Amino acid sequence: MVKYLNHHNSMPTTLATQLSFYIANEPGVIGRVCQQMAEHSINIEGIQAAEGQLEQLLRLTPDDPDKAEAALRKMGVELVSREKVLRVPIRRGEGALAEIAKRLGQHGINIDSFFAIEPADGDSNCLVYINASDPEKGFEVLKSGS
């Protein structure tokens, strides 16, 4: 069992759907995307923006990917990709991410990208979203602790 995984709360390791798309790199655009999600009652569980000159890659992990994709289309946004990612709750501490990355690597699973959401003050948990070369296998590896 990976000691840094948080198996004792109500949020187990799961597979989530991440939507990736390019948006203009200018003030207010990310706000408009977030507003569009809010207006369609879509919760943004994770979001990451990659820097770019004229455009930036936005990765969005919504609670309802189909609804989010439709809302983005209404804005004229075209998806670059729709893929499964690992959603891993971990206890905060030195080596937590290293242990997860090592475990995945030992099973031949590459981490293509990831982002973490740090806990609020007083919370010892954080979420890591991992875009892996084989998310289903990664899910099994982390779930089983093997």
* pLDDT (tens digit per residue) in 46-104: 999 988 888 899 999 999 999 999 999 999 999 999 999 999 988 777 788 888 999 99
pLDDT band at 143 (very low <50, low <70, confident <90, very high): confident
Is the predicted pLDDT of residue 112 greater than 50, yes or no? yes
Topology agreement, domain 18-83 and domain 84-144: yes
Please tell me the CATH code under which domain 84-144 is placed: 3.30.2130.10
Is the pLDDT at 1 greater than 50? The verdict is no
What kind of fold does domain 18-83 have according to CATH?
A: VC0802-like (3.30.2130)
Which residues are CB-contacts of 21 (< 8 A; sequence separation ≥ 6)? 57, 58, 60, 72, 77, 78, 79, 80
Quickly state the pLDDT bin for 131 (edges 50, 70, 90).
very high
Q: How far apart are CA 46 and CA 61, in angstroms?
A: 5
Query: Which DSSP symbol is given to 137?
Result: H
Please report, for the chain, the start and end positions of each structural domain, with discontinuous segments joined by +: 18-83, 84-144
Res 94: pLDDT: 74
pTM: 0.83
pLDDT in tens, 2-36: 555 555 445 688 999 999 999 999 999 999 999 99
Q: How far apart are CA 71 and CA 42, in angstroms?
A: 9
